[in-house]
């Protein structure tokens, strides 16, 4: 007698609306909103209803094709985000519908209304967390925390110097350094609103804020006053802004480059290498090897600060239906300085 087996229909996700790109190139021309049919939910998968996801410069660079490792095409954009568990596979025990979760960074696909992925890619967080901070914590704030912790040994009373101070990473550097009693010297671009920007950064905890033109002098260290010379410099701009940053560094200082917003090369004088023993390093979060436990501990620490109102940065919440408007702002076409966060 043949044994009989019950065949249950596979659990499926709802259909999803997604921002999909089919080739690499200028992001505003190669990506479009597309409906994705339901996806099967395997036993170790979770289906997550996305709530919010930011548009990061790294997301744009990935779609432009400038990164060495790329997902197979077509692909859904977006490298981080927060969602709510919609349903779970039969073997999933650690998640339940309604849990608030964030995804591992740089796993492509955050810009869609529903996601189906293996449960290990998600981390449950406190439901009281503001979704805009949950959506943005795993790339920029984590990068700031890592760079402060792992390139040089900083102690209370030390100093750091950075350009790109108005970015989310820059704002996090200022606040995280202040919590540890570390001084921050900050370089910003010249603009008609420079004084307003300075005031905002000082309110966050910045010790010194200078425009690039204010540093067009031979001895920039005179501007420090009683603030110690920084041992760590954090560069995300390149070009002249990086050259100015190096001028501040003390003997044996280190500059870490984690971006190149100006698209100009980093130029360091020979004398800074020979007579100041300057060290140059690079940082790319995607290639950073960190244990899952430590990474998630850092996430919980940062979100705890955000819930307590101790970690703040500027964001603009935009409906996913207005994706292309948000994309234009994220690319700087409308002069917006705020991080664009898509709300689903």
pLDDT of residue 71: 79
pLDDT of residue 262: 85
The model's pTM: 0.90
pLDDT of residue 3: 40
pLDDT (tens digit per residue) in 214-270:
998 878 888 999 999 999 999 999 999 999 999 999 999 999 999 888 889 898 888
- Do 106 and 246 meet the contact criterion of CB atoms below 8 Å apart? no
22 in active site: no
Q: Beta strand 100-103 with 45-54: parallel, antiparallel or unpaired? A: unpaired
pLDDT (tens digit per residue) in 125-150:
999 999 999 999 999 999 999 999 98
- Does residue 72 share a domain with residue 193? no
pLDDT of residue 216: 84
Residues of the chain with pLDDT under 70: 1-9, 288, 334-337
The first and second tokens of residue 274, run together, are: 């020979």
The C-alpha atoms of residue 43 and residue 84 are separated, in whole angstroms, by 18
pLDDT of residue 288: 67
Residue where one domain finishes, among candidates 236, 267, 284: 284
pLDDT of residue 106: 74
The first and second tokens of residue 215, run together, are: 């540093």
pLDDT of residue 229: 96
Rg of the Cα trace of the chain? 22
Does any domain span residue 1? no
CATH number of the structural domain spanning residue 264: 3.40.50.720
Q: In sequence order, which residues have a C-beta less than 8 Å from that of residue 219 and are 6 or more positions away? A: none
pLDDT of residue 9: 62
Active-site pick, 22, 24, 67, 313: 67
- Does residue 262 share a domain with residue 178? yes
Does any domain span residue 199? yes
- Does residue 123 share a domain with residue 23? yes
- Does residue 168 share a domain with residue 59? no
CATH number of the structural domain spanning residue 54: 3.90.180.10
pLDDT of residue 24: 95
pLDDT of residue 336: 58
Q: Which of 187, 194, 284, 190 is nearest to 245 (CA)?
A: 187
- Domain of 171? 142-284
Q: Which residue has the tokens 């300057």?
A: 278
Q: SS3 for 210?
A: strand
């Amino acid at each position: 007698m043949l044994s009989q087996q019950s065949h249950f229909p596979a659990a499926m996700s709802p259909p999803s609306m997604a921002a999909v790109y089919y080739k690499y190139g200028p992001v505003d021309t190669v990506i479009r909103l597309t409906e994705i049919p339901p996806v099967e939910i395997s036993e170790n998968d979770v289906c997550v209803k996305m709530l919010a996801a930011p548009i990061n410069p790294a997301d744009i660079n990935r779609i432009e094709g400038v990164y060495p490792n790329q997902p197979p095409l077509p692909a859904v954009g977006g490298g981080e985000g927060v969602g709510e568990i919609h349903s779970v596979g039969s073997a999933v025990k650690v998640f339940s519908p309604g849990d608030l979760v964030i995804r591992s960074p740089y796993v492509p696909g955050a810009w869609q209304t529903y996601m189906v992925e293996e449960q290990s890619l998600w981390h449950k967080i406190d439901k009281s967390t503001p979704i805009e901070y949950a959506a943005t914590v795993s790339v920029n704030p984590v990068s700031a925390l890592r760079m402060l912790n792992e390139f040089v040994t900083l102690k209370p009373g030390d100093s750091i110097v950075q350009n790109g101070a108005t970015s989310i990473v820059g704002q996090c550097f200022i606040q995280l350094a202040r919590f540890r009693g570390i001084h921050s010297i900050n370089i910003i671009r010249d603009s008609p609103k420079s004084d307003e920007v300075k005031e905002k950064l000082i309110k966050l905890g910045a010790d010194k804020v200078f425009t690039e033109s204010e540093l067009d002098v031979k001895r920039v260290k005179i501007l420090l006053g009683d603030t110690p010379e920084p041992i760590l410099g954090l560069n995300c701009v390149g070009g002249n802004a990086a050259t100015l940053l190096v001028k501040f560094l003390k003997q044996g200082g280190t500059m870490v480059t984690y971006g190149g917003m100006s698209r100009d090369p980093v130029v360091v004088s020979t004398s800074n290498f020979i007579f100041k023993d300057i060290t140059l390093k690079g940082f790319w979060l995607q290639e950073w090897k960190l244990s899952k436990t430590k990474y998630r501990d850092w996430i919980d620490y940062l979100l705890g600060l955000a819930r307590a109102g101790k970690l703040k940065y500027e964001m603009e919440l935009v409906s996913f239906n207005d994706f292309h408007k948000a994309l234009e702002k994220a690319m700087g076409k409308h002069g917006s300085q705020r991080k664009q966060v898509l709300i689903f």
